[in-house]
Chain A
Amino acid sequence: MKVAYYPGCVAKGGAPELYRSVKLILEPLGIEPTELFDAACTGAGVLTERNPLLADALNARTFAMAERRDMPVLTICSTCTGTMLACNARLQDEGNRARVNELLAPERYTYNGTTVIKHLLWMLVEDVGLERVAQLVKRPLRGLRAAPFYGCYLIRPSSLVGDEHPDRDLYLERLISTLGAEPVKYEGARKCCGFPVITMNRAAGLRMTGRNIQDAKEHGADLMVTPCPLCHLNLDGQQAEASQALGTPLGVPILHLPQLIALAFGHSPAEVGLGHHVVPAQGPLGRLLQAAAAGAS
């Protein structure tokens, strides 16, 4: 399956381990990426709130690149996905599209409104199929308790996300089970990580981050796994501060979704870049994987 791959700014910036792990898993999954090197930032909702026309135009430019190649856009970030979906919904209106196409004309791009946007998680469940994913699992993550953390944009608003696929807010649990791990049930799974207010009200943002991690931990999580690198920036990068804000130790490794998949496909903790993590992940994961292997034999 050929896709127009849109990794997003964080995978190319603050989360190199994410970019690297995606590379490891696409080929075995039968996904052939053409990376859109020249596509602009989606604006992450911030541009939409400043100037919707501008956000729609920048994203329509990306959609046009994919449309020209007759490929869906593959994303690996909840926030990119949600922002694109909202723009794409507005671009279904002919008037809006005409206004935006005028702005794209100097570059000779035209968007006709046909591009489909899919987060990797959705593509795995809806296109690749979890049966196929299961066949690729060389190291079932048995005994591992993984807490799913979706990222708001991947599940809300359901009118936009779940219109044709009402179960998208359950995919992460299904995928975790497919990889052999046990999905942890806890309330924080579908809450906000606190990232959007982190520069405006840091104390509140950190409390959000901390409460979600604490919630996962209290429900027995060995690790948390997220399809959103912005959530990761907070849950991993600021876990120390979040722990201080709550006055309680946390110490929960946070994995990007593609990392968990790559580990189950047999790659080592070092290969998936766990050494880049701020909360130590390489050692704990190594031990957990060993325990899983011992339990299996």
Chain B
Amino acid sequence: MEVHLRVQRFHPQVDAEPHWQEYRVEVPEHATVLDALLAARDEQDETLTLRCSCRSHICGSCVMKVNGTSCLGCKTKVSHARKRLAAGEPIRVAPAGNLPVVKDLAVDLEVFFGKVKAIEPYLQPDGPPPEREYLVPNEAMLTVREAMACILCGCCVSECNSLEVEPRFLGPAALAKAWRFTEDPRDAADRHRLEFVSAPGGIWDCTHCFACVEVCPKDVKPMERILELRRRAMEAGFTDNNGARHSQAFADTIAESGWLDETRVLSRSLRGLPELLEWAPVGMRALLRGKMPLRHRRLSGAKQIRAIFAAAQRRSGEPPREHAPGR
């Protein structure tokens, strides 16, 4: 079948800005987007630059954006990429997002791997290693294994909404890897790791957009790992940050009244007066527009809801808090 591609080309040393180039290639029905790109390169234009190796979604080399969404070119069928296109509309292929372009579809992975290295991606056991292999129960490795499936392809990083606006964010791949070591029974550096990821640029900079979960070709679910790291970091006492304060305030207002008191959550999440003042104009405008309820009434079932809180916290081993009854 004939495939119509529209590929973003960019050679930073030569071009002022990226431009699009179209190719029409003949490929078999079951071809992947990578197959089509390779056909274009081999048969029509050897200057087209892209990265690939295994062609079977193992090596993690071929991250790209197909019709605006990050994926592995070798795992994305042409037939699938065409599904939502109008008749005659080409398949758009662009380089991965959030990473500098080296040329065309090849991106610079130095920062990406730098962040993975920053989380110290190696076992840090307590004491000397055993003489032979580590013995761990099978069950202990079952969840760890899900995150170990990561092939460091960068699809998640390419799609991450936080990274678009916060370059220092460690990002989904590195944080999922950090989680993997905190879960590993052979590793003993939990506290050190949780402290590291609680700092600015860490777990609290994730904006919960699910993009990484959506695009990961290995179902690592980085966001879910990040949320688990948050829970564990709070449990370990790393709570002197707006993220942990927000989480606590959020839970407290629901425990007190059954539902969310936005104004109180905000004021309790911030760090001191300077931050409060930064927010003052937002509050003033809301007040003027009749968008700030002056009184937060508790639900009639607030007492029962509080009882569920207490019972669930007991069961999960979360330390109970004294909640003032709501107003």
Residues of A within 8 A of B (CB): 9-10, 12-16, 37-41, 43-51, 53-54, 57-58, 61, 99, 103-104, 106-107, 152-153, 156-158, 187, 191-192, 194, 196-197, 199-202, 204-205, 207-208, 211, 237-238, 240-241, 275-278
Q: Which of B291-325 contact A (CB under 8 A)?
A: 291-293, 296, 299-301, 304-305, 307-309, 311-313, 315-316, 318
The interface residues of chain A, by DSSP majority, are classed as helix
Closest to A194 in B: B207
Q: How large is the interface on B (under 10, 10 to 19, 20 to 34, 35 or more residues)?
A: 35 or more
Closest to B304 in A: A107
The reply on B236 being an interface residue by CB < 8 A is: no
- B325 nearest CB across to chain A (Å): 15
| CB contact under 8 A between A54 and B243, given known A107-B304, A156-B209, A157-B210 | no
| CB contact under 8 A between A58 and B305, given known A40-B254, A41-B259, A53-B312 | yes
The reply on B281 being an interface residue by CB < 8 A is: yes
Q: Which of B75-99 contact A (CB under 8 A)?
A: none
When chains A and B are docked, how far (Å) is the Cα of A48 from the Cα of B56? 36
- Kindly list chain A residues whose C-beta atoms are within 8 Å of the C-beta of B260: 9-10, 13, 41, 44
Q: Are A37 and B300 in contact (CB under 8 A)?
A: yes
When chains A and B are docked, how far (Å) is the Cα of A205 from the Cα of B211? 16
- Kindly list chain A residues whose C-beta atoms are within 8 Å of the C-beta of B164: 208, 211
The reply on B231 being an interface residue by CB < 8 A is: yes
When chains A and B are docked, how far (Å) is the Cα of A18 from the Cα of B247? 26
- B157 nearest CB across to chain A (Å): 15
| CB contact under 8 A between A276 and B291, given known A38-B300, A50-B231, A207-B165 | yes
Q: Are B262 and A200 in contact (CB under 8 A)?
A: no
Most chain A CB inside 10 Å of its own CB: which residue of B161, B214, B243, B309: B161
Q: Which of B204-256 contact A (CB under 8 A)?
A: 204-211, 213-214, 227-228, 230-231, 234, 241-243, 245-247, 250-251, 254
**Segment of B1-9, B12-20, B282-290 in the binding face:** B282-290
When chains A and B are docked, how far (Å) is the Cα of A61 from the Cα of B260? 17
- B62 nearest CB across to chain A (Å): 22
The reply on B172 being an interface residue by CB < 8 A is: no
The reply on B266 being an interface residue by CB < 8 A is: yes
| CB contact under 8 A between A201 and B166, given known A43-B254, A194-B207 | yes
| CB contact under 8 A between A16 and B290, given known A51-B312, A192-B208 | yes
The reply on B68 being an interface residue by CB < 8 A is: yes
When chains A and B are docked, how far (Å) is the Cα of A277 from the Cα of B288? 10
The reply on B269 being an interface residue by CB < 8 A is: yes
The reply on B60 being an interface residue by CB < 8 A is: no
When chains A and B are docked, how far (Å) is the Cα of A240 from the Cα of B241? 26
When chains A and B are docked, how far (Å) is the Cα of A54 from the Cα of B178? 26
